[in-house]
Structure formats: C-alpha cells, structure tokens
C-alpha cells in the first residue's frame, strides 16, 4: 500500500514529497516499510495490475510540464526509482490500463485531455501513445476491472457540462471515445464496483449534496445514470466527494469533505440504488478526512490535517459497520492528502487458460479466447511480448491442453 505526500522541499521536509510504503497484515496490522523521495508535491499514485510498478505524478507551480515517475515495487513493498519523465501540466490523476499502458489526465480549466503512455521496462522508457480531449475540467480517470475501458469525468462546474465518458483502450494504448453520459450533478471522482456493474461518484464539492450512480452496460460498458431508481441520491452527510466499494460489491463508502465523515450505503444488486446503513466514522475537526481505499476486507483511511495526522485501518463488517484496528499510524511525512494506492497479490496463481472464468478448462475457454484474440484485447497476450500475434494463440492452446 502506498501513500503520497503533497509537500515541497523546505526546512520542514528537506527531501520534499515522499511516498510511504506500507504492508498490511492478514489481521489488518500496518507496518511502515519506508518513505521513498518523490520530488515535490506528489499528488497521485497508481500500481500496475501485476503489482510490479508504481507510477506517481507531481503538481508544482509549473504551467508547462510536471514529473511522472516510475518505481519498481519490491517484495517487501519498498520502492526503487526507475524513471522520471515529463508530462503536460497538470496530471491530477493516473491509472494503469495494463502492465505496460499508463493513462494520465492533463487537467486544464477550459480544455483537459487524457493521455496514454507505453511503459517499457527493458528500455526504461515511457513513450506517449495518444492524447485526446476529455472535456472542460477532467480531473479523474478510472479503469474498468475486467474490460478494455477507462472512464473519465467532466465536472461541469467551471464550464462545459457535467458528464462521464467511456473510452476503449487498444492493446497498444490508442484511445477511442465510445460513449458520453450526462450527470445530474457534478461528477468528481468516479469509482467502479469490482464486478464492473456500477459506477459511483460524490457530487457535493460544488453545492450539490448527492451521490450519483450509473449502470454500466454488461456488453458495451456504456454508462447510464440510474435516474429512474433515484440517482442522484441525497446524503445525510455534508458534501459527499470520494467513494470506495467493498470487495463483495455490497456497500459503497462515501467520504464527506465538510463534516469529515465516511458513511456506508448498501447497494441494491438489481437496481444499483443505495440506502444509508446508519453506520459512519467521524475523522475529526474540519478538513481531517483524506483519501481512503478498500483493501480486501479492510478500509484504509488517511487523516491529512489537524495533528496528529496519519492512517487508520478498519475492518469492514458484514453489515457495513467499520471497526477500527489499532491506533492512528504515522505516514512519516506531512500532508498525505491526495491519493492512496493498494494492491493485494492473488491468493493463488490463476489458470490462464480459464478464459470464461468457470474454474476449469473447456471448449468455452477457446471460444472466449478467440473473441479476445480477434479483438486484440490485452488479456489475449500470452507470449509476454507487446501486441497480439499468432504466437499468443499458440501459447494459449498450449496452456489450454495442459488444463486447469
């Protein structure tokens, strides 16, 4: 687990911004491994799907370019710097689409864009692949958990319109805009449920006090706000902003920036509508609540103001309650206020031939793989080299005949 610090190089912190590296035990115990220097004003972090690389972006006073960094992640969660590159100002968010394609926002008031870079470990290089306009003020990007899509938002509060956008990302990183869906209230930081069915966003930072919910079409992935089921939903908290969804898809946890509470809402599995459970956590005085994220059965929460600052770990109970584990943990630097990245290794090595995810190898896997192979999707890459080729098909068949 990784926590960036939004801080300059000065007498308080001679090394400037750092990224705190934590290990979270099976019982929720937190161990701070190290703080790796990361320039100045580090604001976003993302870990690759295979857990091997961490990307970070910085937000200084520059109006031209900012730093984009790549680190290797060690088995003990330590970081080794690999590359510092430049990306257009301001990279407020980033996400790995695959193990070698990184998506970065260029947030500009009046004309934002979304960029893709190809990461090459052998060459130790990031290569710009695509740069597409993404609205008036796009500050967030999120990846679909299983399909080749990303989603961006345009808040509409400074101009333009309030929308969410769906993009297809090719195996090489080329972006194609697939759908644009209106949002009743300004979408701020959308998150997608682990099963890929629903997308949630707080909308309260600019006057609304609601939580928006979109359904994602099971075939096309197109977003559609579930207005017929009540979206946007009014929150009892003050100014809902960040959201996180539990691993079992049953609850959405919503952070509120004015009353500094996290409140849990149950998700109707048929309609996507949400209902408050009545359970909440109060982070303290105004501006105390920072980013939070679900890691397995735990919720990791940052307290980014009003000393002491640090990190809490909570167990998410079956009814949506939050049980604190231990005390507030120091993150080792000031202002852990913008982002958090979590990763958990798979419980066991997956069977790569099980393309239809039924737990066994069968003829359905062949049909599923061929669909992905002809479409050139990332999960059709089997030989470890970039691009989908005939060799990937041969390697899949070898794995399929070996069985699961």
Q: CA angle at residue 381 from 377 to 384, to 5 degrees?
A: 150
Quick one: pLDDT band at residue 14, thresholds 50, 70, 90?
Answer: confident
Q: What pLDDT score was predicted for residue 347?
A: 64
Q: What pLDDT score was predicted for residue 206?
A: 67
CA distances (Å), origin 225, targets 135, 140, 163, 185: 19, 18, 10, 11
Flag the least confident range among 189-198, 210-219, 290-299, 383-392. Answer: 383-392
Quick one: pLDDT band at residue 383, thresholds 50, 70, 90?
Answer: confident
Q: Which two tokens stand for residue 398?
A: 């070898």
CB within 8 Å of 232: residues ≥ 6 apart: 183, 184, 185, 203, 208, 210, 211, 212, 213, 225
Interval 112-154: pLDDT, tens = 999 999 999 999 999 999 999 999 999 999 999 999 999 999 9
Closest by CA position to 248, among listed 195, 190, 313, 321: 195
- Separation CA 202–CA 217 (nearest Å): 21
Determine what percent of the chain is predicted with pLDDT higher than 90.
83
Q: For residue 229, which phi and psi values (nearest 5 degrees)? A: -100, 5
Average pLDDT over residues 76-100: 97
- Separation CA 39–CA 123 (nearest Å): 23
Given a cut of 80, whether residue 386 has pLDDT beyond it is: no
Q: What pLDDT score was predicted for residue 351?
A: 81
> Which residue ranges form the domains of the chain, and what is each CATH number?
2-329 (2.130.10.10), 363-402 (no CATH)
Average pLDDT over residues 57-75: 93
Q: What pLDDT score was predicted for residue 29?
A: 96
Q: What pLDDT score was predicted for residue 358?
A: 75
- Separation CA 217–CA 88 (nearest Å): 33
Given a cut of 70, whether residue 159 has pLDDT beyond it is: yes
Given a cut of 80, whether residue 357 has pLDDT beyond it is: no
């Amino acid at each position: 687990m990784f926590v960036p610090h939004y801080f300059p190089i000065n007498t308080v912190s001679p090394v400037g911004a750092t990224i705190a590296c934590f290990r979270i035990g099976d019982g929720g115990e937190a161990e701070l491994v190290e703080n790796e220097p990361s320039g100045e004003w580090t604001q976003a972090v993302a870990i690759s799907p295979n857990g091997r690389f961490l990307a970070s972006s910085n937000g200084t006073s520059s109006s031209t370019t900012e730093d984009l960094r790549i680190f290797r992640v060690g088995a003990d969660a330590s970081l080794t710097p690999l590359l510092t590159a430049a990306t257009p100002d301001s990279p407020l968010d980033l996400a790995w689409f695959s193990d070698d394609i990184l998506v970065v926002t260029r947030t500009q008031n009046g004309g934002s864009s979304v960029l893709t870079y190809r990461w090459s470990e052998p060459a130790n290089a990031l290569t710009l692949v695509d740069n597409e306009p993404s609205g008036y003020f796009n500050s967030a990007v999120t990846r679909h958990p299983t399909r080749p899509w990303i989603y961006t938002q345009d808040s509409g509060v400074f101009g333009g319109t309030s929308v969410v956008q769906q993009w297809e990302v090719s195996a090489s990183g080329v972006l194609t805009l697939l759908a644009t869906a209106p949002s009743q209230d300004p979408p701020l930081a959308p998150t997608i449920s682990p099963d890929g069915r629903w997308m949630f966003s707080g909308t309260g930072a600019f006057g609304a006090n609601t939580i928006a919910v979109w359904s994602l079409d099971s075939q096309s992935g197109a977003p559609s706000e579930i207005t017929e089921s009540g979206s946007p939903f009014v929150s009892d908290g003050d100014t809902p902003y960040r959201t996180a969804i539990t691993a079992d898809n049953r609850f959405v946890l919503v952070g509120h920036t004015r009353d500094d509470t996290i409140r849990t809402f149950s998700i109707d599995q048929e309609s996507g509508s949400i209902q408050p459970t009545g359970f909440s956590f109060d982070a303290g005085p105004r501006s105390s609540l920072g980013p939070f994220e679900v890691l397995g059965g735990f919720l990791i929460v940052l307290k980014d103001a009003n000393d002491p600052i640090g990190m809490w770990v909570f167990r998410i109970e079956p009814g949506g309650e939050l049980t604190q584990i231990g005390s507030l943990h120091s993150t080792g630097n000031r202002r852990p206020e913008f982002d958090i990245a979590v990763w958990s290794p798979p419980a066991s090595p997956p069977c790569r031939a099980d393309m239809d995810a039924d737990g066994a190898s069968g003829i359905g896997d062949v049909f599923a793989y061929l669909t992905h192979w002809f479409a050139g999707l990332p999960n059709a890459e089997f030989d470890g080299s970039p691009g989908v080729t005939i060799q990937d098909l041969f390697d899949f068949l070898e794995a399929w005949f070996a069985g699961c």
